[in-house]
Amino acid sequence: MTKRPPVSRAALAALAGQWGRYFLQLVSLVAFSRLIVPADLGIVAMATSLTSIAYVIGDFGLSLAALQAPSLSHPQKSNLLWANSLLGLLVAVVLASLASPMASLFHTSRLAPVVATLSAVFVFNGLGVQYRVELARARRFATQGLIDTASQAFALVVGITLALNGYSYWSVIWFQIASAGIGFIWTALASGWRPGRPTRRSGMRNLLSFGSYTFLTQLVNYASSNVDTLIVGRIFGTGVVAQYNRAYQISFAPTQQIASPLTRVFLPVLAGESTTEGFAARIRQIRALLTFSVGGVLSAVAGTAPWLVPLVLGANWRAAVPLLQVLALAGVLQAMGYAYYWALLATARTRSLLLTELGARVAMIGLILILAPHGALPVALAVAVGQALLLASTASVVGTWRSSGVWSELGDYLIPLSAFALASFAAAAVPQLIPGQRSDIVGTALALAVWAVVVLLLMAIPPFQVRVRRVARDFFAVARRPR
């Protein structure tokens, strides 16, 4: 039996690979923002919002079911691969056939060929799901990280080359297709696993049950996460939706880049200790880790946004600044809620997860629809309120406060949020109070310095200091814990 690396090394390898990929995504975001005008990038934003449902359908929740399962037989693995491959192919065919109606709905003829071409991504994704699961269950996160980073780097060269040669938004489309295709081929070769023929009697019932509830939850998640972009694009056009989409990408990227790799690491570990007395404490520790890491990054971004956005993306993107500052709060709230999401998955309470998220996300969608006619900024506020409702509902179901006390639980929320909010407001306000003109570089540096000083001063306050130390200690405790 192949010896697997400890959880600490697996977690660090997963994060290293994902942050390497995140760096390349930031490079691509900056490069394409400077090479392509916002109105053209709005086409890509609308197409991605329409086609991202394929990520949900193409997986059907089966990858999480496979990660959570204590063991998987070879016939089960083979059935999962063929099921995901078939779903990916069907989704691609459906998307391609609906491309023209989608373009007519949004009165944008250029949308049809973009959606049809993007459908190829989901064929590759469906084929590659189980191979990625194989690497994750073996804790070969360094291998997967290398594959993700290298395939993204090669695809980025392809995309930038096309953009420099005048292919406009098509360069972004081929960037996504190249990344998916190269990543699938390399992952399949690296896994060393080969599927067998599909079989009927292989014990798939529990996996399908877990996957079906997870799939429905992801479907609701998709609707609430994309309706804002679609509505803004439908009402205000491609120029405004491009600004909104850029702000959304920046605000939610840190959570996705931390939570996604750690899901593959911690979900099997949490599933193994879900019946122990320390499970609730473990969830609180992970939530605190995500709160401090993502909260720190996003509060710094929000505080420096008036200068950072035009400096990095260009002067055409200044309208994204207030959107980014509001959506950053939504990103932090989403990060805090991930721990509860993992808790419900680890305990196989997928039905509770679906019911818990359904109410909050329906409320979010309703609020977006009500506020959308008033502008993109009210839509961003609706998303932030929706994330707060979602956090509150999942936290109440998991109920970690029952063992720690209500005030301790509230402190874990309010202390870091208040501290980061104060640092962000100071960073955004202080440079503007100083008279005189300054470049975006100087403004960014000054705002970042103010943010850092405020955070360091707050670190001297005992409640904040104690929680920072506890987060660091608890993270290493989680990381060292064997499966």
Question: How confident is the model over 327-352, as a mean pLDDT?
Answer: 84
pLDDT of res. 129 = 80
- Lookup: tokens for 91: 């989704």
Tell me the per-residue pLDDT of 182-218, one tens digit each, with 9 for 90 and over.
Answer: 989 998 898 888 888 877 766 666 766 666 667 677 7
Render 44-64 in DSSP notation, one character per residue.
Answer: HHHHHHHHTHHHHHHHTTHHH
SS3 165: coil
Per-residue pLDDT, averaged over 245-250, amounts to: 87
CA 379, CA 385: separation in Å to the nearest integer? Answer: 10
Res. 383 pLDDT band, cuts 50 70 90: very high
Model pTM? 0.69
375: left (phi over 0), alpha (psi -120 to 50) or beta: left
Q: Residue 159: what pLDDT?
A: 92
pLDDT confidence band for 410 (50 / 70 / 90): low
**Residue 60 pLDDT:** 63
Average pLDDT, integer, range 291-317 = 87
Q: Helical H runs in 273-405?
A: 279-312, 320-346, 350-371, 376-398, 401-404
> Cα separation of 426 and 430, whole Å?
6
322 pLDDT band (50/70/90 cuts)? very high
Where are the alpha helices (H) located in 372-439, listed in sequence order?
376-398, 401-404, 406-433
pLDDT greater at residue 225 or residue 13: 225
Distance CA 112, CA 224 (A): 23
What percent of the chain stands above pLDDT 90?
14
Nearest to 244 by CA among 167, 352, 330: 330
CA neighbours within 13 Å on the CB side: how many for 275?
Answer: 1
What value does the mean pLDDT take over residues 127-133?
83
Rounded Cα–Cα distance for residues 23 and 327 (Å): 20
Residue 5 confidence (pLDDT) above 60: no
Half-sphere exposure for 264 (CA within 13 Å, toward CB): 29
Q: Which two structure tokens, joined as six digits, stand for 397?
A: 């179901």
Reading the block at residue 172, the tokens are 């972004």
Q: Name residue, tokens 């994330």.
A: 387
Q: What is the pLDDT of residues 440-460, one digit of tens each?
A: 888 888 899 999 898 888 877
Higher pLDDT, 256 or 89: 89
pLDDT band at 482; cut points 50, 70, 90: very low
Q: Which residue has the higher pLDDT, 424 or 264?
A: 424
> Per-residue pLDDT for 118 more than 80?
yes
pLDDT computed for residue 341 by the predictor:
82
The answer to whether the CB of 194 falls within 8 A of the CB of 332 is no
In which band, very low, low, confident or very high, does the pLDDT at 402 lie, cut at 50, 70 and 90? low
Q: What is the dihedral of CA 452, 458, 462, 468, to 10 degrees?
A: -40
Higher-confidence residue of 35 and 223: namely 35
Classify residue 6 by its DSSP letter.
P
Please state, rounded to an integer, the average pLDDT across all residues of the chain: 79
Measured CA to CA, the distance from residue 422 to residue 458 in angstroms comes to 9
Burial environment of residue 469 by CB neighbours within 10 A (0 to 12, 13 to 18, 19 or more): exposed
Count other Cβ atoms within 10 Å, centred on residue 156.
19
Token code pair at residue 434: 């100083």
What average pLDDT score do residues 349-358 get?
80
pLDDT above 50 for 483: no
Cα(147)–Cα(280) distance, integer angstroms: 35
The stretch 141-160 carries a mean pLDDT of 86
In one-letter notation, the amino acid at residue 235 is: I
Q: Which residue matches tokens 């920046």?
A: 250
Contact 299, 421 (CB under 8 A): yes
Q: How confident is the model at residue 238 (pLDDT cuts 50, 70, 90)?
A: confident
Average pLDDT over residues 225-249: 85
- Reported confidence tier of residue 347, pLDDT bands at 50, 70, 90: confident
d(CA 443, CA 165): 34
Q: Which of 116-120, 320-324, 453-457: highest mean pLDDT?
A: 320-324
Mean pLDDT of 264-272: 68
Q: Where are the domains of the chain?
A: 1-203, 213-483
Residue 480: pLDDT over 70: no
Token pair belonging to 469 = 């130390």
Q: How far apart are CA 66 and CA 68, in angstroms?
A: 6
